[in-house]
Copies of this chain bind each other. A is one copy, B any other.
Amino acid sequence: MIKKDTRFLIVGLGLIGGSYAMGLKRNGFHVDAIDINQLSIDYAKEHDIIDEGSTFAIELIQNADFIISGLYPNMTVEWYATYQKYMKPHAFLTDVSGVKRNIVERIQSILREDLEFCASHPMAGKEVSGVKYADDAIFHIANFIITPTAKNTQTAIATLKEFASILGFTNISILTPEEHDEMVGFVSQLTHVIAVSLMNTNDNTHLVEYTGDSFRDLTRIAKINENLWSELFFLNKDNLIREIDDFVKEINHLKTKLEQDDVEGLKELFIQSTIRRKRFDR
């Protein structure tokens, strides 16, 4: 159970870290933050998103019961490796990374015996970044995925479930790191590959005045943070390459129907996609 006097520490006060802080504060918890940018700390304090913050303060780490890294995946590993020595005995740790296999294994293999790291992934976001855009409402229609391993306790899983409930996530699920990475390879990473590639197919910016909602919807996520997403892609390279191959195979299958003037075959593809897509309606 998450006690009312639990002291949270957010490491990396970006969009997700900031939104977590906002939601936790709204629920009456004490929230501290560490970020390399003093402006982010100042903004968050001024807007009552955090209680205390600093670009670096050992005391904030020492006092924390529940630490959330809002840093990029590889940086999360490094940060926990470097600063675990200052952590309170039995502190609870999690992250927000969009890939899990590699990250979870690396953290759990180097962590102090008394600390527990149980990974989680809030499937929420915006096309903008930084604490200035923090908004805990983004969690209210989002999925929260917990990815425990054999090294995690049932208590840790229960704690993360409660944490997600407090923040108002709609769905809370449990997946293995392997299942998680396969799922995001399709649902999230492949969609970004498609949007980016469509935007990069020839230079079609002269067509801007003719584009409608469907083109804009399809390419919205082509505005992408290149540092974060290149890291996410390479950490899930095997899954993503397989998903790209499957998708290209499917698109070439449709092309074959066109080339062969197979009207009925093309209609069948449309009927199948329509039936499947209906199951995704909210």
List the interface of chain A (C-beta within 8 A of B).
123-125, 141-143, 145, 171, 173, 183-184, 186-188, 190-205, 207-227, 229-230, 233-234, 237, 240-241, 243-248, 250-255, 258-259, 261, 263, 266-267, 269-274, 276-280, 282
Contact = CB atoms under 8 A, between A and B. Distances in A.
B280 A226 contact: no
A201 B243 contact: yes
Given A258-B240, A270-B224, A194 B194 contact: yes
Contact of A223 (B173, B212, B215, B273): B273
Contacts of A208: 279-280
B276 A199 contact: yes
A80 to B, nearest CB: 23
5 contacts: A187-B211, A191-B214, A196-B270, A217-B221, A244-B254
A229 B276 contact: no
Nearest to A183: B210
Contacts of A207: 183, 186-187
Given A202-B246, A269-B200, A221 B230 contact: no
Given A199-B277, A209-B143, A261-B234, A270 B229 contact: yes
A272 B191 contact: no
A162 B7 CA distance: 65
Nearest to A261: B234
Contacts of A184: 210
A197 B267 contact: no
A210 B274 CA distance: 19
Contacts of A225: 270
A125 B272 CA distance: 21
A123 to B, nearest CB: 5
B123 A212 contact: yes
Given A205-B279, A210-B145, A218 B237 contact: no
A147 to B, nearest CB: 12
Given A187-B207, A219-B280, A251 B212 contact: no
B196 A273 contact: yes
